[in-house]
Amino acid sequence: MYERVRLGIMSALAVREQLTFNELKELFEVSDGNLSAHARKLEEARYLTCTKSFEDRRPQSVYRLTSLGRTALNRYLDHVEAVIKATRRR
């Protein structure tokens, strides 16, 4: 989850209940293939879910953070905060 795009996806979904593929693509300014690969890795880790449907005859993918994903993100953020605090003490 240390990759910039993966962390961004997780963070964005932590504050929004759901985001579409196109919203995420625009938010992080990445290619379809790049976003797809990162989202797939997060799905495989069960950190997010993807629901596919059609809207106006166009495919739409909607992503949501899972409880496991939220726990993993919070654990990562706690770790980063601890590193920052330890660094500032020196």
What ranges do the domains of the chain cover? Answer: 4-89
Flag whether the pTM goes above 0.95.
no
Low-confidence ranges of the chain (pLDDT < 50): 1-2
CATH number for the domain formed by residue range(s) 4-89: 1.10.10.10
**pLDDT at 70 (0 to 100):** 97
**pLDDT at 89 (0 to 100):** 79
Q: Are 42 and 8 in contact (CB under 8 A)?
A: no
**pLDDT at 55 (0 to 100):** 85
Model confidence pLDDT, tens digit, residues 15-36: 999 999 999 999 999 999 999 9
**pLDDT at 1 (0 to 100):** 45
CA torsion sign for 7, 52, 66, 15 is positive
